[in-house]
Structure 1
Amino acid sequence: MPRPNDEVEALLREYADLLTLTSGDAFKARAYEKAARAVAGYGGDLSELGPQELRQIPGVGKSIADKIAEYFERGSITVVEEARARIPPGVRALTEIPTLGPKKAAVLYHDLGISSVDELVDAIQSERLRDLKGFGPKTEENLLHGVELLRTSGGRVLLDVATKLAEEITGRLSALPGVARCTHAGSLRRFRETIGDLDVLVAAESPVPVMAAFRELDLAAEVIASGDKKTSIRTRTGLQVDLRVVPPASWGAALQYFTGSQAHNVRVRERAVRAGLKLSEYGLFDVETGELIVSETEEEVYARLGLPWIPPPLREDRGELEAALRGELPDLVRTQDLRGDLHTHTDLTDGVASLEEMLAAAAARGYEYYAVTDHAPNLVIQRMTDEKMLAQRERVRALDRTYGGMRVLHGTELNIDADGGVDWPAEFLAGFDLCVASVHSAFTQSRADTTRRLVRAAENPHVHVLGHLTGRQIGHRPPIDADFAEVFRACARTGTALEVNSFADRLDVRDEHIRQAREYGVKFAIDSDAHSVRDLAQIRYGVGTAQRGWLTADEVINTWPLGRLRKFLEKPSAREA
């Protein structure tokens, strides 16, 4: 079942959108968005808190706390139900279209009566949007592309949603008597950015009790198919989960087979055929005699085929077999290689935890260093001032080394303006230990303008990292259009790192860009972009994306010792080297 916190987060986010659609009260909508982030980042179980305790969570005032308490008492929130009733469901569906937020959806509904995705497409094709302020030909093009993305998403879910569900299921099945091993496989094990269905694998001598327990899980809304070898359910959130049970002796072959990808497995089976062998989920067999050769571990299966074990994130038939045969598989970066996190936020801007809370959580993760990078003033909604930032710097300096000896770096996340400029003059920027620069607006610039914008930011001697480079939000906002090869050349030339942003709806830069940028010698930072204590753990998704991009630890600047990192951050000599 979803965590109570996740359920409340979804309701508060929905209500924020509904407020925008019904009243246009941007301030109130932002309050509910902030509260949604706060409850998502709260480490305990909200359902165990009373109204007074809920009000202790940053961003949760009396009104919101009362609504949360109402949800746990009634199973719903009256004002949310009332707001839903005032808006046709089709209008709410419009907000799911990438590039179309609730404000524009409200304009389309109130001014043109558009209340469904199909009606929007018809209106674009008949050019009815062009009389609306802010809806020109370029907007129409972006909306049609967004509709296409929405229609082709096919009910796929983000990596974090699939991971939480998989861990819940495997945790329950692993506790059953007779279960020798249990894990998830498929595209989730390969860290694909979205997941269409879950594959769960169990090793047990008797599949019957395992299948029965799986069918009876309280998260199952429907049993699609059931048998001794495979059972499929659909969860209450609509995601299909396939369970396969194999004998313990077949574990390695089954894990290799069901991890995929299909293209990778075809190439592996071709090697088996050429060697007079047959590979299936039950093992590697001699074709002539039918004798089982190996099956217990993946390593044995690959070794018998003349290959080293290939890490799952590489199994996409993108050159991994050729690299394996040459002995050139990368030693992939791991979560435990990270010595620190270089992009995080506090409640000084849009985070929901205090500086001290974030530092304590970072130290508990064993980090040697940690950067606080709250937003700069050009993101006006965050109301940053020079005085606030300087006061935070003073506090950071005072707290340095006080959390288990962890070094604390004072940084900021700058905004890359439409012309490539950033917040604050050079003399103010020089006081930061670290500057991340990111695009937060003007997402629809031309390819040439966007490329110049990013290159100029990389050339800024005070910008160390380009954050979430393409600005995409998976399923909601497409990436900006740029000549990324030119951007990568600029990053390599200036010594500017690219961020692998670990938020599951970003994973930006994506794996294809990582592989391309590596060819230019670009360095990377795998960052959580945490806005709460709980967000710090998201860094594992960034690591998975980095692995899909074939990154090694030495190519990631926050795996380096602090001395080496500081040398990379030096100004201006590091840029001139």
Structure 2
Amino acid sequence: MARLNDQVAALLQEYADLLLLTGGDAYRARAYEKAARAVGGHPDDLAALDAKGLQQIPGVGKSTAEKITEYLATGRVAKLEQLRAEIPAGLREIMAVPTIGPKKAALLHRELGISTVDELRAAAETDRLNDLPGLGARTAENIRHGIDQLRAGGGRVLISTATELAEEIVAAVSAAPGCERCGHAGSLRRMRETIGDVDVLAVAEDSAPLMAALTDLPQVTEVIATGTTKTSVRTTAGLQVDLRVVPPGDWGAALVYFTGSKAHNIALRARAVRAGLKLSEYGLFEADGGRKIVSATEEEVYEALGLSWIPPTLREDRGETDAALAGELPDLVQESDICGDLHTHTDLTDGLAPLEAMLAAAADRSLAYVAVTDHAPDLAMQRMTDAKMLAQREQARALDRRYRGLRVLHGTELNIDRDGNVDWLPEFLAGFDLCVASIHSHFTADRDTQTRRLIRACENPYVHVIGHPTTRLLGRRPPIDVDLEAVYEACARTGTVLEINASPERLDLGDQDILAARRHGVRFAVDTDAHAVPHLANLRYGIGTAQRGWLTADEVVNTWPLQKLRRYLKKKS
């Protein structure tokens, strides 16, 4: 079940969207959007707060607090349900199409009577959108692409949603009588960026108590099938969960098989066949006599095939079996290797927590250093000024080492404009310890423009890191059209670091892009882009993505001691 704060945040965001969709006041809608972000980023459980306590959360006013307390007491919000009843269900689905928000959805419904995704596609393909204000041929193309992207997702969810659900299920099954061990497998164990279903594997002599532990969970809405070896259910998140229970001696072979990927398993079975063996979820057997050779642990299975154990994040048939055979698997970067976070935000701009709270949380996570990188002034909605930034710098210097010796770097997240320029003049930029530069606008510019603007940002001596390089938002916004190979060459030439943004909504760069970039000798930073204290925990998703890109600790600059990192940054400027 989703964290209570996240459930409430989703309800408030939906309320804001529906206000706009039904012609409500835009100011009220923005207030609820702000409250949704504040609630989702609040570190403490809302269940412990009354209406007065809720109003102590920045951005949560009396009306919002009343809705939250109503939900906590009854599980529903009457005004939200009223708004839901006013619009066709298909119109809410339209809002999920990348590039379509509540305002465009309302315009389409009002002017063209469009209330389903199919009607929207038909309108885009017959040029009916061209005469609407703010729309046109390019918009129609983006809408078609957005619909394709939405449907290609096939009900997949972000890795964070799947992880939270899997951990709850593993905990419940592990507590069942007779359960000897339990863990998740499948694409989630491989740390894919989106997840279609959740595979859980357990060991027990008697499977019945484990199956009951799954089907009795409150987040289970449907029992699809149940038996002695496998039970499948559907949850409130819409995800299918498959629980398989195996005998104690078969754990290793089953874990290899159900972790996958399919292509990796095919490669393993082919290797087994060449050795006169047969590999299945039950073990590794002699092909002729059928004698079981090994099945208890993954390490034994791989060793019997002549391979070193392959980390789950590499099991995509991208050369990992050849590397294992040759003893050339990379020593993958681990979350424990990370010394610092180079991209975080505070409530000075669009973050939800003050600098002191973010630093205290970073220290609690045993980081040695953290960079505060609030937005620069060209992102006008954040209302940054030179004076505000300099005042924060003084505060950061005063707080340096205050929290368990945590070193504080004062930085900023610059905006890369259409021409590749960034905020502030060189003499002002020279005062920062670190500058991240990111694209926040002109997402639909042509390939040459996007490539040129990123390369020019790399060539700026004060830009140390390119943040979320492709700008994608998973399931919501596609990557920009850019010649990434040219960008990788520029990064390698200038010493500019590419970010692996750990936000589960971004995971940008993705694993395939990391694989391509590292061939150029590019350095990377795995950053959280945290806008609230809970977001610091997203680091694990960025590490999983880095591992899928075969990265070692030395290739990730924020695994380095601060002195080494400072020397590297100084070379750039």
Q: TM class by shorter-chain length?
A: over 0.9
Distance, in Å, in 1 between the alignment partners of 2:336 and 2:563 is 19
Secondary structure (helix, strand or coil) at the match of 1:212 reads helix
Aligned partners of 2:345 and 2:372 also within 8 Å: yes
8 A Cα contact 1:34 1:352, kept in partner: no
Partner of 2:144: 144
Alignment partner, residue 429 of structure 1 = 429
Distance 2:346 2:469 in 1: 22
2:278 aligned with 1:253: no
Matched residue of 1:179: which SS? coil
Aligned to 1:532: 532
Aligned: 1:232 with 2:248: no
Between the aligned partners of 1:416 and 1:556, the Cα distance in structure 2 is 23
What does 1:29-48 correspond to in 2, within 5 Å? 29-48=29-48
Which amino acid counterpart does residue 267 of structure 1 have in structure 2? Answer: A
Amino acid in the other structure paired with 2:516: Q
How far has the Cα of 1:507 moved from its partner? 0.4
Cα distance in 1, alignment partners of residues 83 and 562 from structure 2: 51
Q: Secondary structure at the match of 1:452?
A: helix
Matched residue, 1:130: 130
Query: Residues 311 and 119 (structure 1 numbering): CA distance in 2 closer, same or farther, change over 3 Å?
Result: same
Match of 2:410 in 1: 410
SS in 2 for 1:130: coil
Deviation at 1:441, TM superposition (A): 1.1
8 Å CA contact 2:470, 2:509 repeated in 1: yes
Asked if the contact 1:567–1:574 (Cα under 8 Å) also holds between the matched residues in 2, the reply is: no
2: distance between equivalents of 1:427 and 1:31? 37
CA drift of 1:75 comes to 2.2
Q: Could you report, residue by residue, the CA deviation over 1:454-484 in whole angstroms, capped at 9, with x for unpaired residues?
A: 1111111111111111111111111100000
Offset, 1:25: 4.0
Show the counterpart of 1:292. 292
Q: Distance in 2 between matches of 1:408 and 1:175?
A: 42
In 2, the alpha carbon distance for the partners of 1:29 and 1:271 equals 59
Question: Aligned pair 1:346/2:346, yes or no?
Answer: yes
* SS of 1:366 mapped into structure 2: coil
Name 1:89's counterpart in structure 2.
Answer: 89
* Alpha-carbon distance in 1 for matches of 2:53, 2:163: 30
Distance 1:134 1:33 in 2: 23
Return the alpha-carbon distance in structure 2 between the equivalents of residues 187 and 176 of structure 1.
Answer: 25
Deviation at 1:212, TM superposition (A): 2.2
3-state SS of the aligned residue for 1:342? strand
Give the 5 Å matches for 1:57-136: 57-136=57-136
Unpaired runs of at least 5, structure 1? none
**CA displacement at 1:110 relative to structure 2:** 2.3
**Contact kept in structure 2, 1:429 and 1:462, CA below 8 Å:** yes
Corresponding residue of 2:385: 385
Q: Return closer, same or farther for 1:24/1:374 CA change in 2, 3 Å cut-off.
A: farther
Q: Give the RMSD, CA atoms, in angstroms.
A: 1.3
Alpha-carbon distance between aligned partners in 1 of 2:85 and 2:294, rounded to the nearest angstrom: 61
Q: Which residue of 1 aligns with 2:280?
A: 280
Paired residues of 2:224 and 2:233 also in contact (CA < 8 A)? yes
User: In 2 relative to 1, CA 25–382 (structure 1 residues): closer, same or farther, beyond 3 Å?
Assistant: farther
Read off the aligned partner of 2:530 and give its amino acid letter: A
CA distance in 1, matches of 2:352, 2:367: 21
TM-score by length of structure 2 reads 0.98
Q: Aligned partners of 1:385, 1:574: CA distance in 2, in Å?
A: 25
DSSP 3-state at the match of 1:37:
helix
Aligned partners of 1:467 and 1:208: how far apart in 2?
A: 49
Q: CA 1:28–1:412 in 2, change beyond 3 Å: closer, same or farther?
A: farther
Distance 1:27 1:461 in 2: 40
Once residues 26 and 478 of structure 1 are traced to their aligned partners in structure 2, the CA distance between those partners, rounded to angstroms, is 27
Q: Which amino acid is 1:166 matched to?
A: A
* 1:400-455, Cα deviation, whole Å (9 max, x unpaired): 00100110001111111111111111111111111111111111000111110111
Instruction: Please say if residues 335 and 540 of structure 1, whose CA atoms lie closer than 8 Å, have aligned partners that are also in contact.
Output: yes
How far apart, CA to CA, are the structure 1 residues paired with 2:247 and 2:568?
A: 52
Which stretch of structure 1 is more off in the superposition, 313-322 or 281-290? 281-290
Q: Which whole-Å CA distance do the structure 2 matches of 1:290 and 1:130 have between them? A: 67
SS in 1 for 2:233: strand
CA contact (8 A) 1:527 1:539 kept: yes
**Between 88-97 and 478-487, the greater mean CA deviation after superposition:** 88-97
Deviation at 1:71, TM superposition (A): 1.5
User: Which residue in 1 is equivalent to 2:490?
Assistant: 490
How far did residue 24 of structure 1 move?
6.2
Q: Could you tell me which residue of structure 1 aligns to residue 471 of structure 2?
A: 471
Moved over 6 A (4+): none
The answer for the alignment partner of 1:301 in structure 2 is 301
Per-residue deviation, residues 300-356 of structure 1 (Å, max 9, x unmatched): 100110000000011000111111122211111000000010101111111111111
> What is the TM-score when the length of structure 1 is the normalising length?
0.97
**Distance in 2 between the 1:531 and 1:544 partners?**
20
Quick one: which amino acid aligns to residue 151 of structure 1?
R
Deviations 1:501-546 (A, max 9, x none): 0111100000010000001110000000111110000010000000
Tell me what 1:574 maps to: 572
**C-alpha separation between the residues in 1 aligned to 2:295 and 2:61?**
58
Q: Which stretch of the first structure deviates more once superposed, 466-475 or 38-47?
A: 38-47
Q: Does the Cα contact within 8 Å between 2:461 and 2:572 map onto a contact in 1?
A: no
Cross-structure match for 2:192: 192
1:264 paired residue number: 264
Q: One-letter code of the match for 2:562?
A: L
2:10 alignment partner in structure 1: 10
- Does the CA-based 8 Å contact 1:349-1:384 persist in structure 2? yes
- Counterparts of 1:94 and 1:384, CA distance in 2: 34
Long gaps (5+) in structure 2: none
What is residue 166 of structure 2 aligned with on the other side?
A: 166
| Distance in 2 between residues matched to 1:291 and 1:348, nearest whole Å | 66
CA displacement, residues 53-72 of structure 1 (integer Å, 9 cap, x when unaligned): 11111221222112111212
Paired residues, what number?
573
Kept after mapping to 2: 8 A contact 1:34/1:350: no
Tell me the percent identity: 65
Matched, 1:214 2:214: yes
Q: Report the CA distance between 1:213 and its aligned residue.
A: 2.1
Aligned partners of 1:540, 1:375: CA distance in 2, in Å?
24
Q: Distance in 1 between matches of 2:101 and 2:425?
A: 33
Deviations, residues 237-269 of structure 1 (Å, cap 9, x unaligned):
221000000111111111111000010001001
The CA distance in 1 between the partners of 2:28 and 2:555, in whole Å, is 43
Distance 1:574 1:363 in 2: 28
Distance 1:433 1:24 in 2: 44
Q: Deviations over 1:136-169 (max 9, x none)?
A: 2111111101101112211111100000000000
Partner of residue 440, structure 2:
440
Is the 2:524–2:557 Cα contact (8 Å) retained in structure 1?
yes
Distance 1:531 1:269 in 2: 45
Instruction: Give the deviation of 1:275 after TM superposition.
Output: 1.1
Deviating more after overlay: 413-422 vs 506-515? 413-422
Q: Is the 8 A contact 1:371 1:408 kept in 2?
A: yes
Letter aligned with residue 531 of structure 1: H
Asked if the contact 1:343/1:371 (under 8 Å) is kept, the reply is: yes
Alpha-carbon distance between aligned partners in 2 of 1:88 and 1:260, rounded to the nearest angstrom: 40
**SS of residue in 1 equivalent to 2:554:** helix
2:34 & 2:541 partners in 1: Cα distance? 23
The alpha carbon displacement at 1:102 in A equals 1.9
Mapped partners of 2:20, 2:287: distance in 1: 65
- Aligned to 1:242, the other structure's residue is in SS state strand
